[in-house]
Amino acid sequence: MIDALHIPDFPMQRTCPFDPPQEYAKLRVEHPVSQVRAPTGQIAWLVTRYEDIRMLLNDPRVSADRRHPNMPLTEEVTPQTRRNIAEVGRSLIGLDRPEHGPRRKMLMAEFTVRRMAAMRPHIQHTADELIDAMLAGPREVDLLTALALPTPTRTLCELLGLSYDARDIIQRSANAQLRRSVSAEERQQTSAELRAYVDQVVREKTAAPTDEDLLGRLVLSNRETGLYDHELMVGLTMLLLVAGHETTASMIALGVTGLLQQPEKIPGIVADPAAAAAAVEELLRYFTVVDALPRVAVGDIEVGGVTIRADEGILLSFASANWDDEAFPDAATLDLARPARKHLAFGYGIHQCIGQNLAREELHIVFRTLFSRIPTLRLGADLDDLPFKKDSNIYGIDALPVTW
């Protein structure tokens, strides 16, 4: 077992930009469930094998309740930020059975395949407009600010019924919430800024709801169910903005970088929607931008040769699970035709990502449109010189210079 005095720090560092931390491979074999120390000083169990993680995510003894004092957080927080995290959690992502079910069901009505398909023309229009702007300027562009960030921001604003003028506050806050190098005070300040904006928006939607946007429809359906009060509605809106924005932006940027490593495959992906769909799943698996999700045990659980006791914190490494050769043979290879759909990039179990089909639509449309309109696109810097994010709870790149 690992020496109690030498419990490794978590998160562990990546040494190759595309690969999860190298320690994961060793841990999966030698200590699939091992102790780590979070930036808050909390000791938690890190789970690294695909099957163990799926088993735990189906186990009602594993709680997502962010109010639990032992819930391991992967960034330092002020007491106020901890309360905010708990508040956002209570809207959905931190609820356990049976409370989670009815709230999730209410939101699911907003993320049906039909509703997501209805977003397609809007996403296509957004991608086309952004690429028009790229083509109208110099042939050297930061793809992150030109395409990867604005696509999900505009899509979310359209879906929720928010003015695109709010993009700065959304992007600034989402970025700060997820970065460990940002001070706890700054994180609290940007979170308060986003909260004040969202509070105002929810008041306006509540005063005059329409069925033309998600927030208006939620206000209307909530008048029947009574499941959400004002504070919970604010928490839910913040969750959607933070969860749906940086994740998708990072996947667009990393996905383009990954595709450019195999340029010979790109024409097939542009020409064939089925090949593009497979490539999107494999890129999601390979990059797994959301790595360790926090949980707390509410009963004793035997897993991976150890007993996790009630009230102990747990971190589930989706990046490790998705690189587990037992689940994905030769997992370290980016194989764009691999049937990868059982990956855990969107989580698993009751909290599995509610926006996954929206994210898939965005990735599919952006990759195909970008490479069909600019087939000669290439990186504008060496891969090793790209500023990969080393300090973010969502993996990504801070800038992506491209040329054509």
Select 72 or 380, whichever has its Cβ closest to ligand HEM. 72
- Confirm or reject binding of residue 33 to ligand HEM (CB under 6 A): no
Among 73-81, 172-180, 216-224, 348-356, the segment contacting ligand HEM (CB under 6 A) = 348-356
CA distance 208 to 273: 40
Instruction: Give the Cα separation of 22 and 12 in Å (integer).
Output: 9
Candidate residues 88, 289, 319, 402; the one interacting with ligand HEM per rule CB under 6 A: 289
Contact yes or no for 67/91 (Cβ under 8 A):
no
Distance (Å, whole) CA 348 – CA 343: 9
Pick from 21, 161, 258, 347 the residue near ligand HEM by CB under 6 A: 347
Which region holds residue 303: left if phi is over 0, alpha if psi is between -120 and 50, else beta?
A: beta
Rg value, the chain, Cα: 21
Q: Which of 346, 371, 388, 395 is the binder for ligand HEM (CB under 6 A)?
A: 346
Helices (H), 44-183: 50-57, 79-91, 100-108, 113-136, 143, 150-160, 167-178
Token pair of 273 as six digits: 């929607």
- In whole angstroms, the minimum distance from the beta carbon of 332 to ligand HEM comes to 19
Residue-wise burial string across 103-119, b where 16 or more C-beta atoms lie within 10 A, e elsewhere: bbebbeebbeeeebeeb
Stretch that binds ligand HEM, among 11-19, 75-83, 243-251, 325-333 (CB under 6 A): 243-251
Whichever of 240 and 253 has its CB closer to ligand HEM, that residue is: 240
Which region among 32-40, 182-190, 355-363, 385-393 touches ligand HEM (by CB under 6 A)? 355-363
- One residue of 143, 290, 297, 315 binding ligand HEM per CB under 6 A: 290
* Binding residue (CB under 6 A) for ligand HEM from 20, 150, 161, 244: 244
Is position 53 an interface residue for ligand HEM (rule: CB under 6 A)? Answer: no
| Nearest CB to ligand HEM, comparing residues 279 and 380 | 279
Start-to-end CA distance of the chain, whole Å, equals 52
Which residues, 6+ apart, have CB-to-CB distance to 113 below 8 Å? 357
- The answer to whether residue 20 forms part of the interface with ligand HEM (CB under 6 A) is no
CB 241 within 8 A of CB 166: no
Q: Footprint of ligand HEM on residues 137-156 (CB under 6 A)?
A: 156
The type of residue at 102 is: P
Query: 150-160 and 356-373 helices cross at what angle (nearest 10)?
Result: 130
Residue of 234, 345, 365, 366 that binds ligand HEM (CB under 6 A): 345
Q: How far is the CB of 75 from ligand HEM (least distance, A)?
A: 15
Among 85, 134, 162, 239, binds ligand HEM (CB under 6 A): 239
Please give the size of the binding site for ligand HEM, defined by CB under 6 A.
Answer: 24
Residues 6+ apart with CB under 8 A from 231: 87
Instruction: Give residues in contact with ligand HEM (CB under 6 A).
Output: 64, 92-93, 104, 156, 239-240, 243-244, 247-248, 251, 289-290, 293, 345-347, 351, 353-355, 358-359
